[in-house]
Structure 1
Amino acid sequence: MKKILFVLSEWGYWGEELIGPLEACDSAGYDITFLTPNGKKPTPLSVSCAPGYIDPPLGRSVTSEEMAEKTRKINDSERLDNPKSLADWFPRRAYPSSATYLRDMEAYYKQIDKIIAEELSEYDALAIVGGSGAMVDLANNQRLHDLILGFYKLQKPIAAECYGVACLAFARDFREKKSLIWGKHVTGHPIDYDYLDGTGFEGHHAIDGTNKGFGDGYINFGPPFYPLEFILRDAVGSDGAFIGNVGHQTSVLVDYPFITSRSTASSRECGRILVQVLETGLTRYGW
């Protein structure tokens, strides 16, 4: 049985971007492990559970009644209650100011190499779920970068959706500092679809500290922290390409080992293609 590792933000994931690939993997009979930065239950963004919500750039609802119900159902179930903790699994890289920096880094790399050889080898693919929360605790998460690098070294499929694709742009060998997607063809949330206002975060980080979650801690940050399209265009370099497919209903690309998905509407296709990569050895799709 193939094992898939799903990574979710603790600051709000988009429901359909979990449901799409998860249903495809469930249907294929895969074993699923959920992972969050600190082992807390992930929270779906409330707008991804609200069919009446109108996405400002698109001028229409991007949440169907079906997907809203499925998102609420998995949130109310126990399936996401006890995710694996990335912080407990992967070590933190030492600061250069450490008095024992060289010894610390030797221990760090030794532990990373051991995890890759003995633990990541048990998994068949990595899937990074999108949503605005990914900007907060996934995009610049050093431990997640090391996890991605591990799958890359093992040449196992790495799928990322929407703002989760930013993790691929920033993931790189710390010694070389060159993006893993340099020279690759990727898609992601294009600037045409970025909000001018309303980029929200929520979860177990309620403003008043009560940790109630699911909408109670909603924070409107305005526009996104960064224009993902520009970051991806720079990260792939002159030999790669960012393909937003603006105007097309979906956008999913495979440039092995990477599977990238633009946004909500592409989620089911992303799941279908991930299974195809695993079952048929597909290495190129969408470009």
Structure 2
Amino acid sequence: MSNILIVLSGADHWTLADGTKHPSGYWAEEFVVPHEKFTQAGHTVEVATPAGRRPTPDPLSFTPDVAGPDAAHYSEYVDSLSEMLGFPLKLADVDVAGYDAVVIPGGHGPMEDLADDRAMGRLLAAADAAGKIIASVCHGPAALLSATDSNGRWLFADRRLTCLTDEEETEFGTAAKAPWLLESRLRERGAQFEGGPVWAPNVVRDGHLISGQNPASSGAMADAVLTALG
């Protein structure tokens, strides 16, 4: 069995272009579905956040009108892990050598803190150099932006990946106030972006780098990680 590290945002808001703070955090489905699949498969899962802060779920991710018919399950599952989530590992203290995979769920939280978190960047650089599985979904790939080499070059330039598309961000109603859009930023940094139909599952694997497009891709992303773990 393998050891899997899930890195969650420690933010409880997303700062919009006008400076206002929009309540946010991690998206429950994108954490719950992979965690459930990994543990049911017998793997050990640990959670880390910046500074070891208790992660905050985006309140909308428990709303059936937005999160779908399984919203109540997501809420109950998060509640069942309350003790563990109350004491996550400190991201800066994590030694990636102890893990076989690093998985980063989305929500707008990662755009607030993980995208420029130095500890996140160091962990990803070490994981990439060691050929560890690096997986993310929806806004989780924002964390990849934190990883640069000594010359400031983005480590994931020229790699195939996906994330929540600009079109989906627009349909969700958050693009107009966003300080930046993730798909556009990844393209600007040199990613070979592969978007699929809006809100449909889409997973892209480029070697040990795995990414999912949107919340509906959470299960397929987790399955891809399990396949990669062999």
Same fold (TM over 0.5): yes
Seen in structure 2, the aligned counterparts of structure 1 residues 228 and 2 have a Cα distance that, compared at 3 Å, is same
Percent of aligned positions that are identical: 32
| Post-superposition offset of 1:198 | 5.8
Residue matched to 1:266:
217
On the 8 A contact 1:159/1:274 being kept in 2, the answer is: yes
Could you state the TM-score of these two structures normalised by the residue count of structure 2? 0.86
> Is 2:16 the counterpart of 1:65?
no
Say which of 223, 240, 244 aligns to 2:195: 244
Match runs of 1:66-85 below 5 Å? 66=70, 68-77=71-80, 78-85=83-90
Residue matched to 2:227:
276
Say which of 19, 44, 58 aligns to 2:57: 44
| Post-superposition offset of 1:228 | 1.0
What amino acid is aligned across from residue 65 of structure 1 in structure 2?
P
> Is 2:34 the counterpart of 1:21?
yes
> Is 2:98 the counterpart of 1:157?
no
Deviations 1:103-143 (A, max 9, x none): xxxxxxxxxxxxxxxx3222100001100111111111111
Match runs of 1:92-171 below 5 Å? 119-171=95-147
> Is 2:205 the counterpart of 1:254?
yes
| Post-superposition offset of 1:222 | 6.3
Separation (CA, whole Å) in 2 of partners of 1:132 and 1:222: 14
On the 8 A contact 2:4/2:44 being kept in 1, the answer is: yes
Separation (CA, whole Å) in 2 of partners of 1:70 and 1:222: 31
Separation (CA, whole Å) in 2 of partners of 1:133 and 1:225: 13
Give 5+ residue unaligned stretches, structure 1.
54-62, 91-118, 200-220, 280-287
| Post-superposition offset of 1:196 | 7.7
Query: Runs of at least 4 residues of structure 1 off by over 3 A?
Result: 195-199
What is the DSSP-based 3-state SS (H/G/I as helix, E as strand, rest coil) of the residue aligned with 1:188?
Answer: coil
Separation (CA, whole Å) in 2 of partners of 1:192 and 1:182: 22
Deviations 1:60-95 (A, max 9, x none): xxx1222x12321233232312100124x17xxxxx
On the 8 A contact 1:196/1:223 being kept in 2, the answer is: no
Give 5+ residue unaligned stretches, structure 2.
12-24
On the 8 A contact 1:252/1:266 being kept in 2, the answer is: yes
What amino acid is aligned across from residue 236 of structure 1 in structure 2?
G
More helix by share: 2
Give aligned pairs, total. 215
> Is 2:8 the counterpart of 1:8?
yes
| Post-superposition offset of 1:10 | 1.8
On the 8 A contact 1:135/1:225 being kept in 2, the answer is: no
What is the DSSP-based 3-state SS (H/G/I as helix, E as strand, rest coil) of the residue aligned with 2:65?
Answer: coil
What amino acid is aligned across from residue 33 of structure 2 in structure 1?
G
What amino acid is aligned across from residue 71 of structure 1 in structure 2?
Y
Seen in structure 2, the aligned counterparts of structure 1 residues 40 and 248 have a Cα distance that, compared at 3 Å, is closer
Separation (CA, whole Å) in 2 of partners of 1:148 and 1:137: 15
| Post-superposition offset of 1:236 | 2.8
> Is 2:182 the counterpart of 1:228?
yes
Seen in structure 2, the aligned counterparts of structure 1 residues 151 and 79 have a Cα distance that, compared at 3 Å, is same
Separation (CA, whole Å) in 2 of partners of 1:197 and 1:156: 33
